[in-house]
């Protein structure tokens, strides 16, 4: 899996971070378009202090939950993060002033889903800017099965233990290289094309 992810990044001309414990954070959006489930993944890929690639794959959602699809916060529609690489887009901070997560600090591009139905619409209007597209967890403990209100466009971990392990890696990265993180979102077919 590491090879496929790196190949997908390289084939698109995206940055690949190579220093020890410098995190490549990659979301992979599943081809399965089932709504309201954690069927995507967030991956932490990095080299260890011996120069060996390491990867951790965490179940997640890269799509908004059903509640926000039907009840958008924004009149233009619910935000769906567009696939791409967002350099220096996140920092360690407080998600909704409640707990430590990766919070958006640089511009990203979202697609506005204004259909108010149960399907994600990737053909809506695009907007670039600051929208609070954070990388955080669902429930404070255990595994969450339905996305619902946990994502209005954020990238969300299903498992609280996974999220805590991920944040420990982020803290290590931050101590070595500063509080700045890039996030790359790939669509699943991009991995197969790069293989």
pTM for the predicted model, two decimal places: 0.96
User: Structural domain boundaries of the chain?
Assistant: 2-194
For 71-127, what is each residue's pLDDT tens digit? 999 999 999 999 999 999 999 999 999 999 999 999 999 999 999 999 999 999 999
Q: What is the pLDDT of residue 195?
A: 59
Point out the residues of the chain with pLDDT beneath 70.
Answer: 194-195
Alpha helices in the chain (DSSP H): 2-11, 66-70, 160-177, 188-194
- Does an H or E element contain 91, and which? strand 84-95
DSSP class of residue 70 equals H
Task: Determine contact, residues 173/23, Cβ cutoff 8 Å.
Answer: yes
Cα–Cα distance between 20 and 112 in angstroms, integer? 37
For residue 50, give the 3-state DSSP assignment.
coil
Q: Rounded to whole angstroms, how far apart are CA atoms 66 and 84?
A: 23
């Amino acid at each position: 899996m590491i090879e496929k992810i790196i190949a997908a990044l390289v084939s698109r001309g995206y940055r690949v971070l190579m220093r020890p414990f410098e995190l490549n954070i990659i979301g992979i959006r599943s081809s399965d378009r089932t709504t309201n489930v954690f069927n995507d993944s967030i991956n932490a890929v990095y080299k260890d202090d011996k120069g060996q690639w390491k990867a951790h794959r965490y179940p997640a959602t890269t799509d908004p939950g059903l509640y926000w699809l039907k009840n958008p916060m924004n009149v233009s529609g619910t935000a769906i993060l567009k696939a791409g690489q967002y350099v220096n887009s996140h920092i360690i901070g407080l998600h909704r002033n409640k707990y430590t997560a990766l919070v958006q600090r640089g511009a990203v591009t979202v697609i506005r889903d204004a259909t108010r139905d149960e399907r994600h619409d990737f053909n809506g209007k695009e907007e670039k800017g600051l929208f609070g597209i954070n990388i955080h967890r669902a429930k404070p403990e255990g595994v969450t099965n339905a996305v619902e209100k946990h994502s209005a466009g954020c990238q969300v971990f299903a498992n609280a233990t996974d999220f805590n392990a991920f944040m420990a890696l982020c803290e290590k990265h931050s101590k070595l290289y500063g509080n700045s993180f890039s996030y790359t979102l790939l669509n699943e077919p991009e991995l197969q094309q790069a293989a």
